[in-house]
Amino acid sequence: MNTYTVLYGSSKKTYTVMRKELKSIRLTITPEMDIVVTCPQRVSIEQIESFLKRKWRWMDKQLDFFEKYQKKVYRKEYVSGESFYYLGRQYQFIIQKGDTDDVSLTRDKMIVSTTETKSKKTYIKQLIEMWYKQEARDIFRERFEIAVKHFGYRKNILLRIVQMRRKWGNCNGSTVTLNPLLIQARTEAIDYVIAHELCHIRHKDHGKNFWKYLDTMYPGWEKEKEKLEIQFG
């Protein structure tokens, strides 16, 4: 996958090109606000840049949307009435007085019960993050073990859960790291991110062989990736 820069008027954008057996050019803006062009093998850089210039206004809108969404995701006020996600479903955030500290889900509400003396936003934020991380440990471990068996890896692969600002997952050597905030997404999206990172055990970069392997191990990953980006950025 190669990186290029395209100029249009007084502005410029950096993009990467991934060539596959396709009939047309595809354009994706990633959660990290990267511009990725997937195109047929014989398409020239001039044709790609002409395509990007036609999509310039759309790209600006997408980049602006993801930038605003990142601020929304990571700058919650942690007050009643906000919306929080869990496994792809949206819940109304409710804070109520309780004798103990607890997070629970009803049909459409995420309820935080806490003592009156601990009702500060910083403490509420800690409770939610701890709850997300615990849920992530349980669900990610289950999905991860299923995926590792599917991939057929014989060596021991470690799973870590660490909050990252701009990534859902990462793979370094034989360790896969997942962002606990991914617990907000659908199970299918969690499976896609895990599969993506497990492909890096065999293919370190995003070369042609990597994408072929991902196609084999998680067919239809493009649609799941798109849904994840639309919902969470």
Residue at which a domain ends, from 74, 91, 117:
74
> Do residue 112 and residue 15 come from a single domain?
no
Contact of 24 with 42, CB cutoff 8 Å:
no
Tell me: do 27 and 119 sit in the same domain.
Answer: no
Which range of residues forms the domain containing residue 49?
2-74
Residue 32: φ, ψ to 5° = -85, 10
Do both 215 and 117 map to the same domain? yes
| Residues 128 and 56 reside in one and the same domain | no
- Using 50, 70 and 90 to split pLDDT, how confident is the model at 73? low
Domain count, the chain: 2
Higher-pLDDT residue of 92 and 163 is 92
In whole angstroms, give the CA distance from residue 31 to residue 34.
7
Residue at a domain's end among 20, 48, 74: 74
- Listed in order, strand segments (DSSP E) in 26-178 are 26-29, 35-39, 83-86, 89-97, 102-105, 109-114, 158-161, 169-172, 175-178
pLDDT tens profile 123-174: 888 889 899 999 999 999 999 999 999 999 988 999 999 988 778 999 998 9
CA distance 59 to 131: 35
Looking at the DSSP assignment, which residues form a beta bridge with residue 91?
Answer: 84
Q: What pTM was computed for the model? A: 0.66
Domain boundary among 42, 74, 106: 74
- Does 202 lie in the same domain as 132? yes
* The residue to which tokens 């036609």 are assigned: 54
CATH code of the domain covering residue 155: 3.30.2010.10
Same domain, yes or no: 130 and 27: no
The reply to whether 65 and 113 lie within a common domain is no
Angstrom distance (rounded) from CA 136 to CA 133:
5
187-202 and 121-151 are packed helices; what angle lies between their axes, rounded to 10 degrees? 60
